[in-house]
Structure 1
């Protein structure tokens, strides 16, 4: 290698290092590196394919003009020359007649028929492992030398570390966004519970205490002159005391249903079904215990769903199913009521609250209903790491 060639190679590597330190984005990094490689290796186009987080497929993350298809080309591992290089972690060179190579698979978006020769190398390092594949193509026939392949492999190692760091940064940012969303949902749910409890206390307990004070004052003023009237006021005050106590217990139960502590989720759901006497509810309940916050959320979801059936469905029967297996936790409430169109629903029927509760425990909600054919509310939650 001449001094001039060595100088150009060192300059390229320095430029690659500079490009990899510009920022954490995978796509801008891939585009910048692709341009540097084309300029330095006298090739016509460069494609940078990055391995996905699951290690199952490669996505085109960056390319040189005229290609503007970043993110639009995906190759399963092992597919095409690129997939072969990723699977075997070995370079591949095709000088001509690509179509005759059994590894080659044409990709219309990349216009492979316009290019004669190609070199493909893995982007890998000891620290990062395999992170992708680097391809260069030429329109004219070119014999890629061992030195060309070594240079591209060296670039691949440099880029691998930067792509690995960019992916870690992206994953961390994603986790932070998910955490922020989760915290916001928790706070919103807590505020909704506080508003509900405040409404229950204001509309029920507070009003009854005011009435209780009125009756006690009336008894106090008339006890000497009209003992019978005073006694009637005291009787009424006792009744209000009992009602207020019942409402206070209900409000406390709204925060943490005591039935879950006494009977577990299966028993709590059975008790919930019995609290709707006008509805015949068939039960299919697992005795499996779950973490406390999951049990509370599922109990509230079932409670909301049964209330919806009671208020809106016009149903005579319902089914309540709770099952736990290795892959999922499943809660479903079905009814034979009038049904509705979920696509035109504005989120009434308590469905927004059900969805929010399910999302807080990592679950999903599926609503199936048609006018005249009943409704099914299905909640699926990932299995807990450890049931209690």
Structure 2
């Protein structure tokens, strides 16, 4: 039996639901979300712009995309973050805070190194520094996810994830538009120095927040009487076997549900900007409506999703989010037929980002309820990796579909891909009600 009943639906009043956002752990997640989101673009699109600005070839720039593999394979070292103590730091700060701080220091160091390098002279060192940032960032993600899950009850996880998403998205604005603005008016070195300084937001938060009471206390990889094999069984094998023991034969269906829930939005996401440009919208239109306006719509969706989880439990918002994410792809079909109408663009982006924010908040709350606090970091890393890998793999074929047919066919295909998530969300709800 899971340690948390993911199907529970405590009946909170709307006033009580809103008050959750004033809780200290929820507020802390905003700042930790900012620390998690800041490095992401700095080793992807922002770094690509910097390299391109210095005349680095497109093939070389493309190779830097491999840096992002660290975010998809973080489950490989999550047992270490879950179980291994950092000398001195873990004693002073606790398991979760010490690993968050270590990741944040690694990010700041990597960004500082990048700020001091010239792409034309130190391209290999830049690649290594970017890898340090990405590895430290994904390590920080593991620790923050565990901290979030262990800091509040499952019915509050929607609000926790919404606060996290707010901070994360704000950091994407800083690392995207903000860093480009600084590079334009000052220099790329100044831009990356400022980004390194902004990591103080996460560092200070890690130092002042309280370590969760439910964090794993089995931190030592080897005691005097334990062998390395015994530690491996406890830290690596036990988290996975625990999940299958608790969920039984339903475990495979849960993993399938996790794998398909975000297929629709991840698959279509890579074609969004080319679609807008081909339709005739300007880059300014895309920046102002797609990025800035879309940012607020995503935050609104996340906030509302968190409220719904508190008010009604996780399952109803989960099903609602799955339906909204799939159906909003049909608005892109309509936009493709109508043409470059700015109001239709606003309506489409509003619906798409609102549904994505709501669905993501509910889904993170659901995944949080699946974990066992003895193996929080490892199990959540497994879920989050599985959540994105199928969509990323299939999105590579999106351009093939568009070239072979049309945008209308592609977005219809993306909408149909959301149907399994809807059906499985209903199935999961019914199963959880039966075993409650």
TM-score normalised by L of structure 1: 0.21
Q: TM-score, normalised by structure 2?
A: 0.19
- Going by fraction, where is helix more abundant, 1 or 2? 2
Relative contact order higher in (CA < 8 Å, ≥ 6 apart): 2
